[in-house]
Structure formats: structure tokens, C-alpha cells
Amino acid sequence: MDFSWLNDPFYQSYLMEGFINTLLLIAVSAVGGLALAVALAMARLKGPRPLAWVIHGFTTVMRGTPLLVQLFFFYYGVGRLLEGIPGIQESLIWPVLRDPFFYGALTFILSVGAYSGEVIRGALLSVPAGEREAGRAFGLSPVQVFFRLWLPRAIQTCLPTLTGEMVLLLKSIPLVSTIAMMDLLQAANIIRDEMFLVYEPLMLIAGIYLAMTVVLTLVLRQLEQRFPGMRPTRGRRLIPGRA
């Protein structure tokens, strides 16, 4: 087992760059994806029927096609169309549009949005209408009811599933190495190419991902604990007979 390249600052810099890019991508995709998921769920529940159909179609397509195909579709397919738009290459957003990070983030946000959208929609549906009505009866505006009662209760229900979705997101990140983004896998590939080692760099990356998965799961489990109602209640329930 040859791990000598770990001491070489030349390779260390690539590994570090890959690691930071990976973390950035996860953060952007998770936040953007979950926001999109909430939006999609609400649109399906409350929006006009045609919109709900479109979103259902979108979700089916995102869940029915491989993520790798989606990445290529956006980076090489859609990206190519965007670049053909006259004037866009001189515009301010061009540095963003020519960067694979943008397309990677876009694909992951849409993917997380589609998968988590289903989860959140189910969770929103499971919150008893009575609780929302009580909120309105107390004089809260619909927006307040949503953000302070309905959504938190829904998330509380589906947090374990969302945790699973986040772990799945983490495991999908290495795919961006195929669209020229410098992530951990690309850094490992550089080391593999130059040192002609097959296993060692990949094993290091696998180990890093394992560690990230453990950390992520622990953090999210802690978050679960902090949600009111997730901890088993001690003693009697507040209202006997009511669940």
C-alpha cells in the first residue's frame, strides 16, 4: 500500500481544493434543493391543477432518469443551448454559466427538490387540519401559520427520511467529476494518473466520504432531538386520551 503521495504538498493542494468544492456543492445543493422541495410541495397542494400536473411530471422525470444523464443533459445539452444565445458570452453571468459548479449545483438542486418534494408533500398532508385552523383562529396570518406551525410540524414528521435524502445527495456528489469539476474524485484521479496507483487514492476518498456520512448523520440526528415532540415524553401526556 503506497500512500507516500499523501505527504506531497502538490497533491495535497488538489485534495484540499476537491474537498472544499465538495463541501460547497453539498451545502448549496442541500439548501437550494430543500427550498425548492418546499415550494414544489406547496405548489402541488395549493396551486392550480395544471401546475400540479407539470410538477408531477417534472418529479417523475427526475426520479426516473439517472443522475449522470441529468448532469450531462444540463452541462452539455442545455449549456450548449444557453451559450448559443447571442450576447450571453459577454454578459456578467457568463463566468457562472461557463463553470461546471453551476451546472452541478443546478442538477442536484432539481434532483433534491424532486425527491424531497414528494417527502415534504406527504408530510404536509399528514399534519392535521385542526392544528392549522387553530392557528388561524388565534389570528395568525396564513404565511405565519405556514412557517410557524404547518411546515415545522411536517418536517418533524419526515426528518428521518430527509436525513436519508441528504445522505443520498452526499453519495451522488462524485458524479460531478465527469463534468470537469475539481472534486475529491477528480483529485484522486490526478493522483491515480500520475502515480499509477489504482486503489490507494480511491480508498482515501472512500474513507473521506464515509467520515462525512457519519458526521452528517450524527448532526442530523442531533437536529432531530432538538425538534419538540421528537423526544419520548416522560410521564403522562398533557391531555389524557389524545395522541
Round to whole Å and give the CA distance between 179 and 182. Answer: 9
Size of the site for another protein (CB under 8 A): 51
Query: In this structure, how many other beta carbons lie within 10 angstroms of the beta carbon of residue 224?
Result: 15
- Smallest separation, CB 60 to another protein (Å): 8
Please, which of residues 172-191 interact with another protein by CB under 8 A? 172-175, 177-178, 180, 182, 185-186, 189-190
Cα atoms in the 13 Å half-sphere on the side-chain side of 28:
16
Minimum CB–partner distance for residue 64 and another protein (Å): 4
96 binds another protein (CB under 8 A): no
Taking contact as CB under 8 A, which single stretch among the options 47-55, 65-73, 109-117, 141-149 is the one that binds another protein? 65-73
Which of 119, 158, 162, 205 is in the footprint of another protein by CB under 8 A? 205
Rounded to 10 degrees, the C-alpha dihedral 199/202/205/210 comes to -80
DSSP 239: S
CA separation for the pair 10, 20 (Å, rounded): 16
Q: Interacting stretch for another protein, rule CB under 8 A, among 113-121, 129-137, 171-179, 225-233?
A: 171-179
- Residue of 7, 49, 81, 143 interacting with another protein (CB under 8 A): 81
Residue 154 near residue 102, CB atoms below 8 Å? no
For the chain, helix, strand, coil in percent to 5 are 80, 0, 20
Residues that bind another protein (CB under 8 A): 10, 60-61, 63-70, 72-73, 76-81, 83, 89, 98, 100, 170-175, 177-178, 180, 182, 185-186, 189-190, 192-194, 196, 198-199, 202-203, 205-206, 209-210, 213-214
